[in-house]
Amino acid sequence: MNMFEKKRMGDILVERGKLTREQLFTALDKQKKSGKKLGEILVESNIVSEEDIIDVISIQNGIEKIDLTVIDFDNRAIKMLSHNLCKKYDFIPFGFNENKIKVALADPSNIFAIDDISIATGFDVESYISPKWQIRKFIEVYYNNQQIDKAAEELFKETLENKSLETNIEEVNDVKNAPVVKMIEYIFKNSIEMRASDIHIEPYENEIRIRYRIDGQLKLINTLPIENLSPLVARIKILANMNIAEKRIPQDGRIITTVGDIDVDLRVSVLPIVNGEKIVIRILDRNSYQIGREKLGMKEEDLKKLDNIISSPNGIVLVTGPTGSGKSTTLYTILNELNTNKVNIVTVEDPVEYTLKGINQVNVNTKAGLTFASGLRSILRQDPDIIMIGEIRDDETAEIAVRAAITGHLVLSTIHTNDAPSSVVRLMDMGIEPYLASTSIAGIIAQRLVKRICPKCKEAYEASEYEKKVLLGDTSKNLTLHRGRGCGYCNDTGYVGRIGVYEIMEMSRMLRDAMAMKKDIGVLRDIAKSQGMKTLGEQCMELVLDGITTFSELASITLLKEI
């Protein structure tokens, strides 16, 4: 752009009230000295946003602004241009219009980029403008998938040429350009970019299926030739310090690495199945691990109940729910609030997912004989005030935890049950006497994570008669609900992020008496509800009616006939 055009950009921003004349003159002075573009200087100085600059460029040049998060990408366009070229000029192709290729650019005035795209594709370029962060996100998402496929092809050829590749796999340990090394690197990068919590690598008769769990839901990402399985599994085993020669028994391992600029802790599980070995990798992104009551998504009334429970000087506080329901986040949040210089807090976990300053955390090591039960016994000799047990899995751990609770300790733990009242019965099934259970339990928190509707593709619809009956108990009333159509922003799932749903059971004399008399789950639930407990289903219904989540998410966490 020439200086006249730059002043025009500044004038437009001043007219819109985005910056003052003084700020404009200062930025123009910096522009003369640095040679940078005016827009860059204004954004770097935090005077205006990138969106403001895009709006002005769109007006100046008559170039349409496009939101990449809500469009459907044409893979044919992606395949026509290389990853490196896209990264070099910050652009991404996304479709065609007759004899033109549609391209979103961060800087549509870059004639070198336009020329290179045209030469590489043989098409004229139809330019659009998008924020740089969107372009870079989708470059990683789409081209990492392409790179995985490319590496798989190279690995397939290499496997055919070298039948002994599997036995010599350790030789590629330091060879960064080896196809198997590149493939795993791209799988890790792609999973982080798509906000996955788990990677599933599953062998079938003729193919390997790669799926990511995103916001609690599995999504198919790639299928690879089955011939890639042996080197792929062997490479991951090497990274996770497993025995690559052992294929008959399950193995567990850990990879601590950096993907891009993100520090990740990868927990690897290998399981022998009919067609080979299945790998599941849990991704723990330590940079994004957030604790704090504001992150839990609890309502004010639930936070008050939580405060009442954790203010108990002793007793057991149980957090219950299935795997991936956010129990660890809740426990770490409680520990963080209880953590002061006046108390000694010791935990025994499998594994330690997040380290907290001022808390003594013990990692379970079953191979060395350090189990929850043995670790808990040792903890009790460490003069603790508060104990956290990662999970009550067996009778022995349950008994020690209860004994610790009735001898003056506050014990926090998790247990796998469907709801809060079921946890009481589960403890009794583990051999805990009813009078001990009733005396020791301070409170129980059952929880689930339900998916939030994507804000970019959220749409309203008229509820069906069945939905009205469940939510309102009346099919004659009008009811508008919401759902996500699916778009690029939410990886076509219709959801982005999750929110906690909680069922908090505070102890009362009536509940303790019922527990001591070994009353069934239904009686305990009725007493708790009569004293103000909202069930998981009732909490989720409120989120559905508020347009935060969908009716299908309600159906996924509760039996609708019980609501």
Cα–Cα distance for residue pair 10/24, rounded to 1 Å: 6
SS (H, E, C) 215-244: CCEEEEEEEEEHHHHHHHHHHHHHHCCCCC
Cα–Cα distance for residue pair 60/341, rounded to 1 Å: 60
pLDDT in tens, 317-334: 999 998 888 888 899 999
**Are 309 and 277 members of one domain?**
no
pLDDT at 326: 86
Residue ranges in the chain modelled with pLDDT below 50 = 1-7, 164-167, 169, 172-174
pLDDT at 289: 58
Structural domain harbouring 424: 293-448+501-534
- CATH number for 89: 3.30.300.160
pLDDT at 552: 92
Residue matched to tokens 């992606």: 78
**Are 164 and 125 members of one domain?**
no
pLDDT at 279: 96
For residue 471, tell me if it sits in a domain.
no
Cα–Cα distance for residue pair 376/195, rounded to 1 Å: 35
Residue matched to tokens 């909680």: 502
Domain boundary among 219, 254, 285: 285
- CATH number for 529: 3.40.50.300
Domain boundary among 259, 285, 311: 285
For residue 41, tell me if it sits in a domain.
yes
**Are 441 and 301 members of one domain?**
yes
- The answer to whether 192 and 199 are in contact (CB under 8 A) is no
pLDDT at 426: 92
SS (H, E, C) 273-294: ECCEEEEEEEEEECCCCCCCHH
**Are 305 and 388 members of one domain?**
yes
Cα–Cα distance for residue pair 369/388, rounded to 1 Å: 19
Cα–Cα distance for residue pair 57/64, rounded to 1 Å: 9
**Are 149 and 177 members of one domain?**
yes
Q: Give me the count of residues in the chain.
A: 563
φ/ψ region of 17 (left if φ > 0, alpha if ψ in -120 to 50, else beta) reads left
Number of structural domains found in the chain: 3
The angle, 0 to 180 degrees and rounded to 10, between the axes of the packed helices 3-15 and 21-34 is: 150
Name the pTM for this structure. 0.73
Cα–Cα distance for residue pair 375/86, rounded to 1 Å: 53
For residue 89, tell me if it sits in a domain.
yes
Phi, psi of 168 (to 5 degrees): -100, 20
**Are 264 and 325 members of one domain?**
no
- The answer to whether 286 and 263 are in contact (CB under 8 A) is yes
**Are 363 and 240 members of one domain?**
no
Based on C-alpha coordinates, what's the Rg of the chain? Answer: 28
Domain boundary among 88, 106, 135: 135
